[in-house]
Amino acid sequence: MSSTEHNPGPAGQPFQPQGYPAGYPATQQQPYPGPGGYPMPPQAPQKSFLVTWLLSLLLGVLGVDRFYLGKVGTGIAKLLTVGGLGVWWLVDLIIVISGKQTDKFRRPLEGYDRHKKLAIIITIVWIVLGAIVNAVNGAGQDVEASPAPAPATSQSQAPAAAETTKAAEPAPEPKKTEEPAPTPEPDPLTPTQTFSGTGDDVITADLAGRPAIVTFTCGDCSNNTVLETNGADSLLVNEIGVYSGKHIVDTRTGSTTTEFVVTAVGNWTLTVEDVTTIPHSDGPVSGTGDDVVVLTSGTKAAISYQGESNFVIQTYGDRNDLAVNTIGAYEGTVKISTPAFIQVTASGPWSITPQ
């Protein structure tokens, strides 16, 4: 098992967290509230609750609120998925107005107690008015205006000897103004792609440069079962015989997977989906084998594993941490930074309980 360690530094030298550049911080600082006790730069003020709430409400689908809080990694992910198709936007908005949101140093937002009532009221009114406007616009588009009938025109009577009545000529129909069709917005998700085959194969898939979830199943495989990519996460599966599990790919900036290489003796299926298909959880999660879960709360987690082979817990969020890396059964509590995707690599039953 590996976990984040702190380097106290040589005698007489300032505290230096492992993984931070030399000289940060320049002097011993008062730790900010929260786990870890990492020193906080004195020039970094608390982020404003009012600003965070407004950015989350108005520009949350673009991840601007997370960029403001210094959470650049999840800000980019939120931007690329257009606020997780609105789901992530709503979750973050609820977290902000409930007072649970923090900056990248895990400090609470300044001014929450003064402005929370106003923020909650305006948020509710905003959402209700938006629903009403959408409903009215939708109803208005279904009603087509019908042109009014043109009045009949009468011809003056001819001389009495040849008195005739001409039929009124129909009025010309008003020209219909063709409105340009609305330009459809691009789908922010990579469509679900499913492939199947028997034996070795090379699969070309379009991930559009975004993170994705890969599910690989080989229910009757024997001998070596391997799944590789041409992205940064190159080796996903390396087992003997039957296999079924999930993996997250392209979590690193600049990593783009376009090809999967399958080595198998048997029938297999490969499914590629967007990361927003993974359900979020703020409570205990459990499973068996390789899987990907999303935790939305907690600063640490109690983890257990019953198996004989490798057991790995890797987090992807504000910080990418290798929380657990061991062989055989495991029981312990480790630090985590949420919200985050959790990649579990296991061959037996496991459970994660955020705290």
Domains of the chain by residue range: 18-138, 193-354
pLDDT of residue 290: 96
Q: Classify burial at 239, counting beta carbons within 10 Å of its beta carbon; exposed 0-12, middle 13-18, buried 19 or more.
A: buried
The answer to whether the predicted template modeling score (pTM) of the entire model surpasses 0.85 is no
Burial, 129: exposed, middle or buried (Cβ in 10 Å; 0-12, 13-18, 19+)? exposed
Ordered per-residue pLDDT tens for the chain, 355 residues: 444 444 555 555 554 555 545 554 444 444 444 444 545 445 578 899 999 999 999 999 999 999 999 999 999 999 999 988 989 999 999 999 999 999 988 899 999 999 999 999 999 999 999 889 888 887 766 655 445 555 544 444 444 444 444 555 666 666 655 555 554 444 454 578 999 999 999 999 888 778 889 999 999 999 999 999 998 778 999 999 999 999 999 887 778 899 999 999 999 999 999 888 888 888 899 999 999 999 898 899 999 999 999 999 999 888 888 999 999 999 999 999 899 999 999 999 999 999 9
Distances, alpha carbon 294 to alpha carbons 225, 242, 270, 344, in Å: 27, 26, 21, 11
pLDDT at 153: 46
pLDDT at 256: 84
Distance CA 299, CA 227 (A): 33
Concatenate the DSSP letters of all residues of 304-320 into one string. EE--SSEEEEEEEESS-
User: CA angle at residue 334 from 288 to 280, to 5 degrees?
Assistant: 55
Q: Contact 119/51 with Cβ under 8 angstroms?
A: no
CB atoms within 10 A of CB 133: 10
Q: How far is CA 330 from CA 300, 323, 348, in A?
A: 16, 12, 11
Which residue matches tokens 């080989």? 218
Q: Which residue's entry shows tokens 């007072």?
A: 99
- The rounded distance, in Å, linking the Cα atoms of 244 and 216 is 6
Q: What is the DSSP string of 94-161?
A: HHHHTT--B-TT-PBPBTHHHHHHHHHHHHHHHHHHHHHHHHHHHHHHHPPPPPPPPPP-PPPPPPGG
pLDDT number for residue 38: 47
Structural contact between residues 40 and 29, judged by C-beta atoms closer than 8 angstroms? yes
